[in-house]
A and B are shown apart, each in its own frame.
Chain A
Amino acid sequence: MIYLIDDDDIQNTINVRIIEIVAPEREVRVFKNAKRALEALKEVRENAMEKEPTFLLLDLNMPQMNGWEFLKHFEDRQNPWPVYILTSSINEQDKSRADKFPSVAGFLSKPLTTTAFEQIIAEY
């Protein structure tokens, strides 16, 4: 199960399709709101029936709860799953800031490409 967290519908369409092309056997859950994603993760931790995510793809710039806030809550609740940041930010500081979160496994620039995704999926 792969979690996609992004408020942008087009991005989600693209990313779902790329996953479909590269790894059609994988399931995808899309969250347009980072808070919903946190709630879903809570369910997963509490209910053994729920499917665990393999990893998360997280956008940074989102309304209500942005990627940074999500990461903070995510780590405070000791979620064990790796997070890949997928952003259109070209700010170098964002990258160094992301590196400080132990759960962040990678920092990718939008758009996600099949090649980039193949490299990630190869690890899981």
Chain B
Amino acid sequence: MKRDGYELGPDGFSQEEMQQLMPHIEILTYNRQFRELFGFDESQIITAKRLFTFIKDDWKKLFGQELVAMYNDRSSFEAEFEIIDAGSQTRHIYLSVNYSPEDYDKVVYGLLDITDLRVSIEALRDSETRYRTMFEGNQLGVIYANRMTSVIRFNPAFQQMFGFSSQEMNELNENDILYPEYHEESDRLFGLLRQGQIRSFQMEKKYKRKDGSDLFANTTVTGLFDNRDNYYGSVTILEDVTQKMANQIFIERQNDELKKINTELDQFVYSAAHDLRSPIANVIGLMDLIRQEKISDRAREYLDLQEKSLSRLDEFISSIVNYSKNSRLELNLSNFDLREMIEDSIAQHQHIPHAGNMKVKVVTEGECELKSDKDRLNVVINNLVSNAIRYMDCNKEEQKLEVVCRPVEDLCEVTFRDNGVGIEKEDLEKIFELFYRANHSSEGTGIGLYLVKETVEKLGGTIHVDSEFRKGTEFKFTVKNYNDRVTS
């Protein structure tokens, strides 16, 4: 570069002044690395003025000062500054400017890209700060120990956990505060670490604090190894889980108690249902015997009415028991054939008056082998079958019920479609409510459909009803198929 004498003003050069200075510097030659650093291609003419625009604004003034000082004093200088390269990235540059020994009119600019170095230094500083924050301000106790596992450094959290003074800490060995039953295992693991057989280990330990109270901690011990892989100490991180353990024990105890209450309640429901049903069974049985005797038609009629009332009571008890079971017990999964279950249920309901008149069609579209809770699904199917029969429309020429089952993804969809008496619009949205009875003359308990809905939901599905008064009703429900090998 050609040199020219320039006076440096008291505040160095302004940016504008530098812009004026630059055209006087003529670039004579440069190497490939230089070109690539700034992202020029071979055809481009590189001027000093152009180069100056790459320098980050904050650095321009300083750079100008150095440059002018050098020209005036015929000295050399070194500087670190930042440029914005062709790809708009900030790059750290180390610059060394020297007069050429052969020709004092020429100046040699040596540039070194030190961006990576800078980034590394920053990262190092960051990691040191992070480390310090972790060590000093952490909730976790941290201890550094030497080869012989005596404590050499500990953080404030550790000291707080145990309540020892710094003086006491310095004389402490881990086994002094660890419950004896943990010594053997702890020593064994430390031994493996020392021999380099393991690099770290985790262990749940029980310690005694200075005040004598217990401290449960999850510890993670990491070995420290030098360049030659020789063990020289360890870092232990302790998480105080005393409160967690206490909570866990409390929850477990409570859980056991709940289980016991649940079993007792189950037992209670079971025997209450049995004791309620026994006398009903007796009376129904006796009524059956009375029918075998010579009795008047009127007495026979009364017996029928009596049996109807008792059956209603009997159904009520079953519903209550099923409701209690559904809400409390876990799902009991097994594989079964849905079609078979529906057909069995229909067969079981043939004792209801006029049931035989109903034309029933069961259609299965695809695989109907199902994995679900059999007892619960039985409750759903039985209720829907019994409703379809009970609310048949005897004024119609034919009484029909169609049941369609089909797999839909991981569910099984079942549709009950009848041409029965139907449900009025205002009742439709309430029929799944507890103790709601749409048909006021009916013998229903107001539990059946509520139970159906609750049970379907417990089985991972949904239920919808669609009905037209006097035309018929359609119930469509889904249940989850827990059988994962089913492909629909």
Binding site for B on A (CB under 8 A): 8, 10-11, 14-15, 17-18, 21, 61, 87-93, 109-114
Indicate which residue in A15, A61, A111 contacts B284 across the interface (CB closer than 8 Å): A111
The contact sample of 14 A-B pairs, CB cut-off 8 A, is A8-B278, A10-B286, A11-B282, A14-B288, A14-B289, A18-B289, A21-B292, A61-B274, A88-B277, A88-B280, A89-B274, A111-B285, A111-B288, A114-B288
Taken together as a complex, chains A and B put the C-alpha atoms of A87 and B288 apart, in Å, by 17
Q: Bound complex: CA of A91 vs CA of B317, how far in Å?
A: 12
Q: Which of B280, B292, B375 contacts A92 (CB 8 A)?
A: B375
How far in angstroms is the closest Cβ of chain B from A115?
A: 9
CA distance A101 to B374 in the complex (A): 21
Contact A90 B282 (CB under 8 A): no
Q: Nearest residue in A to B292 (C-beta to C-beta)?
A: A21
**A64 and B173 alpha carbons, distance in the complex (Å):** 65
Q: How many A-B residue pairs have CB under 8 A?
A: 60
Q: A90-B273, A90-B321 are in contact. Are A110 and B278 (CB under 8 A)?
A: yes
Q: Which of A10, A18, A91 contacts B282 (CB 8 A)?
A: A10
- Interface residues of chain B, those whose CB is within 8 Å of chain A, are 270-271, 273-274, 277-278, 280-282, 284-286, 288-289, 292, 317-318, 321, 374-375, 378
In the A-B complex, the 9 residue pairs with the smallest Cβ-Cβ separation, listed nearest first, are A111-B285, A110-B281, A14-B285, A88-B277, A10-B282, A92-B375, A111-B281, A88-B281, A88-B278
Q: Which residue of B lies closest to A95 (CB)?
A: B375
Return chain A residues, CB-CB under 8 Å to B378.
92
Contacts of B274 in A (CB 8 A): 61, 87-89
The CA-CA distance from A110 to B270 in the complex, in Å, is 16
A92, B273: Cα distance in complex, Å: 13
With both beta carbons as reference points, the residue of chain A lying nearest to B277 in the complex is identified as A88
Contact A111 B282 (CB under 8 A): yes
Residues of B within 8 A of A110 (CB): 277-278, 281-282, 285
A14 to chain B: which residues have CB within 8 Å?
282, 285-286, 288-289
Q: Determine the residue in chain B with the shortest Cβ distance to A10.
A: B282
Q: How far is it, in angstroms, between the C-alpha of A17 and the C-alpha of B286 when the chains are bound? A: 10
Known: A88-B278, A90-B277, A110-B278. 9 other contacts (CB 8 A): A10-B286, A11-B281, A14-B285, A14-B288, A61-B278, A89-B277, A90-B317, A111-B281, A113-B288
- The minimal Cβ–Cβ distance linking A12 to chain B, given in whole angstroms, is 10
**Which B residues touch A87, using CB under 8 A?**
274
| Shortest beta-carbon distance from B282 to chain A in Å | 4
User: CA A89 – CA B393 in complex, angstroms?
Assistant: 33
When distances are taken between beta carbons in the complex, the residues of chain A under 8 Å from B278 are 8, 11, 61, 88, 110
Residues of B within 8 A of A92 (CB): 374-375, 378
When distances are taken between beta carbons in the complex, the residues of chain B under 8 Å from A61 are: 271, 274, 278
Q: In the complex, which residues of chain A have a beta carbon less than 8 angstroms from the beta carbon of B284?
A: 111
A102 to B286, CA, bound (A): 32
Q: How far is the CA of A8 from the CA of B275 in the complex (A)?
A: 12
Contact B285 A11 (CB under 8 A): yes
Closest to A17 in B: B289
Residue of B nearest to A61 (CB): B274
- Output the least CB separation between A5 and chain B (Å): 15
CA–CA, A6 and B277, complex, Å: 15
A8 touches B288 (CB 8 A): no
Tell me how far the C-beta of B372 lies from the nearest C-beta in chain A, rounded to whole angstroms.
Answer: 14
How long is the Cα–Cα vector from A15 to B285 in the complex, in angstroms? 9
Taken together as a complex, chains A and B put the C-alpha atoms of A15 and B282 apart, in Å, by 10
A residues in contact with B271, CB < 8 Å: 61
Closest B residue to A9 using CB positions: B282
State A42–B274 Cα separation when bound (angstroms): 31
User: In the complex where A110-B278, A111-B282, A111-B284 touch, is A90 in contact with B289 (Cβ < 8 A)?
Assistant: no
Known contacts A90-B318, A90-B321, A92-B378; decide if A112 and B285 are in contact (CB<8 Å): yes
User: How far apart are the CA atoms of A87 and B281 in the complex, in Å?
Assistant: 9
- Asked if B282 and A8 sit within 8 Å, CB to CB, the answer is yes
Q: How far is the CA of A87 from the CA of B278 in the complex (A)?
A: 8
Q: Please, which residue of chain B has its CB at the minimum distance from the CB of A110?
A: B281
CA distance A91 to B286 in the complex (A): 24
Within the complex, what minimum Cβ distance (angstroms) separates A62 from chain B? 11
Q: Using Cβ atoms and an 8 Å threshold, which residues of chain A touch B273?
A: 89-91
> Taking the nearest CB of chain B, how far is it from the CB of A7, in angstroms?
10
Q: A93 to chain B: which residues have CB within 8 Å? A: 375
A44 to B135, CA, bound (A): 86
Rounded to whole angstroms, the CA-CA distance of A43 and B277 in the bound complex is: 35
By CB atoms of chain B within 10 A, which of A10, A11, A93, A111 has the most? Answer: A111
Given the complex of chains A and B, what is the CA–CA distance between A43 and B259 in angstroms?
Answer: 45
Q: Kindly provide the distance from the CB of A6 to the nearest chain B CB, expressed in whole angstroms.
A: 10
Closest A residue to B379 by CB, please name it. Answer: A92
Residues of A close to B289: CB separation below 8 A:
14, 17-18
Min CB distance B294 to A, Å, is 14
The answer for the CA separation of A84 and B284 in the assembled complex, in Å, is 20
